[in-house]
């Protein structure tokens, strides 16, 4: 039996390793274009900033739920991590194709135009559920993020690193907020036509990410099948 990883780390080591792993897999800097795409049609800069701020707590709670309950929930429903990853890949493929064709921009515009007349925070609260898929899942929190969260969540519970795990998640979410707040400056530089081009380029990137997620999930399912059946 392989020894538990927490036997070989202290609180500081757990903090550094989990922070590095979650930062790399969630990729707050690399996901800025996706945030721009899904908030570019919001007419008020204050509402966009409110969305950027509110995304932090939503991601924070979602990551913690994945850390401590993700594995149990998937097991309860009999869903394997590779199957979950493939499901996320299919969602991304559909959305990526709509972004490349330009229909996704129209959908986003329709979603944002319905929130006129509300205060910036109320409008942001109403808008968050509309971008939960795909911005939060599976872009920020995909199969890889869930797998890493479950791994470090288990280490946190067994090794007594609960405070460190919560602290790491909070730091990552603060970085996400800071990166997304900086997106307004990028948006001003790009302009409307530039944003349309970026949206289509992001669609191509999303499609590539979806194919990679699908291939990874399918590969893991095949490997598990071969191992289980001794082929």
pLDDT in tens, 93-143: 887 887 777 665 555 555 555 555 678 899 889 889 988 988 998 889 987
What are the domain boundaries of the chain? 13-229
Place of tokens 């001003």: 188
Which residues are CB-neighbours of 202 under 8 A, at least 6 positions away? 33, 34, 37, 99
Q: Give which of 169, 204, 182, 222 is closest to 25, Cα–Cα.
A: 169
The helix or strand, by DSSP H or E, that contains position 158, with its residue range, turns out to be: helix 143-159
Residue 1 reports pLDDT greater than 60: no
Single pTM value for the model:
0.76
Strongest mean pLDDT among 81-90, 163-172, 222-231: 163-172
Residue 4 reports pLDDT greater than 80: no
Question: If pLDDT is split at 50, 70 and 90, which confidence band does 42 have?
Answer: confident
| pLDDT score of 168 | 96
């Amino acid at each position: 039996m392989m020894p538990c990883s927490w036997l070989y780390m202290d609180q500081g080591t757990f903090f550094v390793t989990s922070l590095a792993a979650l930062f790399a897999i969630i990729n707050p800097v690399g996901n800025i274009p996706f945030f721009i795409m899904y908030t570019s049609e919001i007419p008020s800069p204050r509402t966009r900033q409110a969305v950027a701020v509110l995304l932090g707590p939503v991601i924070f709670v979602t990551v913690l739920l994945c850390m401590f309950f993700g594995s149990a929930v998937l097991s309860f429903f009999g869903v394997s991590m590779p199957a979950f990853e493939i499901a996320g890949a299919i969602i991304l493929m559909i959305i990526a194709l709509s972004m490349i064709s330009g229909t996704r921009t129209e959908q986003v515009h329709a979603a944002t135009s319905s929130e006129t007349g509300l205060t910036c925070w109320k409008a942001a609260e109403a808008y968050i559920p509309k971008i939960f898929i795909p911005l939060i899942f599976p872009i920020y929190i995909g199969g890889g993020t869930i797998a890493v969260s479950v791994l470090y969540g288990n280490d946190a519970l067994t090794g007594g690193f609960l405070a460190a795990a919560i602290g790491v998640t909070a730091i990552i979410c603060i970085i996400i907020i800071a990166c997304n707040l900086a997106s307004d400056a990028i948006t001003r530089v790009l302009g409307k036509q530039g944003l349309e081009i970026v949206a289509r380029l992001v669609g191509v990137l999303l499609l590539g990410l979806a194919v990679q997620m699908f291939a990874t999930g399918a590969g893991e399912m095949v490997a598990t099948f071969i191992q289980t059946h001794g082929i």
